[in-house]
Amino acid sequence: MIEELSNGLNSRIVTVTLNPVFDKSLLIPDFRPGGTFIAEESLTLAAGKGVNVSRVLKNVSIDSIVSGILPREGKDIYHKLLESDGFTHDFISTEGVIRTNVTIVSRAHDGETHLRERGPTVRRSALDLLKKKLVTLIEDETLFVFSGSIPEGLPSSSYGDLIDVVKRYGCSAFLDTSKNALRNALSSGPLFIKPNLKEVQDALGYLPGNKEELKKACADFHALGIENVMITMGKDGVVLSRKDEIVLARVEISAPVNSVGSGDAAVAGSVIGILKGLNTKSIARLACAFGGANTLVSGAGMFRYKDVERLYGRIKILSLR
């Protein structure tokens, strides 16, 4: 199944990350606050939610262009990490230092500790430069994936503004963000959104607590012009609503080791499914399988083929109609 995913995909894919990050994962089995420990394993990736989507796509032989806004301090190392993973990149540069996020995995205590830096404040002029950059990346049938937080200094309307630009050139947009950034971009009509339950509340003002409320949330997003709505619910699976069909996809995951990037992996699976013209159930299966496989290894956007294949066959699909 994995080998067939890249077949028939002719669209150019551009992932856009406004707030890139060095993503460092440390395996410290006996970690606890206040101690001094040596990591048994360490992995540093050039990351950010859009880059994570590209990493998943790359791992199934689907090329994409990684773009966005990249602070100057640390960018040479960031570029080298991207290039070592085989990425094509085309960022605009701005002042500041690339932030670093650290995830400490402690298997002995069955948990993760996440340390997050805020990142630099970005001037609004960078957004105008990025708009011009994205236009130069457009070819026929270009799909843009806008993912992640908006850095300080840029308006919460940034994603909506960028979507408006690429749509003027006939391009489609996926969107994965939160809070005001999500709410303000809905009117721009992205093709696909992927909020989690809290982000649904951010956008619509209520937290879905049962099947009927999930259906209502999807209907409310559709009423705003969003064709494809995926609501992620962690271990409880994903809901995908498209046109006249809405399904819940769920799979049991044994001994997950990492949650970072699982939502980005689900987005990548959805990109593949939609571009290949798959039906709703198959797209939900891909998203759930990629998201689940990402939790079984360290590193955002990382997975093993065998895990995707195994999970795909075990996913349970329930119609919510």
Q: What is the pLDDT of residues 105-121, one digit of tens each?
A: 886 666 778 899 988 99
pLDDT at 45: 92
The residue count of the chain comes to 321
pLDDT confidence bin for 140, thresholds 50/70/90: confident
Specify if 267 maps to a domain. yes
Specify if 1 maps to a domain. no
DSSP string, 60-88: TT---EEEEEEEEETHHHHHHHHHHTT-E
> Is the pTM higher than 0.85?
yes
Distance CA 227, CA 270 (A): 13
Distance CA 41, CA 196 (A): 30
DSSP β-ladder status, 192-193 and 228-232: parallel
Specify if 3 maps to a domain. no
Specify if 2 maps to a domain. no
Specify if 302 maps to a domain. yes
Specify if 87 maps to a domain. yes
The dihedral through the CA atoms of 149, 151, 153, 154 has a sign that is negative
Listed in sequence order, the residues at least 6 apart from 294 whose beta carbon sits closer than 8 Å to its beta carbon are: 56, 258, 261, 262, 264, 265, 300, 301, 302, 303
Scanning the chain, the segments in alpha helix (DSSP H) are: 49-59, 75-84, 125-136, 158-168, 179-185, 197-204, 211-223, 262-275, 280-294, 305-314
Report yes or no: 16 and 68 within 8 Å, Cβ to Cβ: yes
Specify if 119 maps to a domain. yes
- Residue 133 belongs to domain with CATH number: 3.40.1190.20
Give the chain's domain count: 1
Specify if 78 maps to a domain. yes
Q: What is the pLDDT of residues 175-213, one digit of tens each?
A: 999 999 999 999 999 999 999 999 999 999 999 999 999
Report yes or no: 295 and 257 within 8 Å, Cβ to Cβ: yes
The domain of 36 spans 8-319
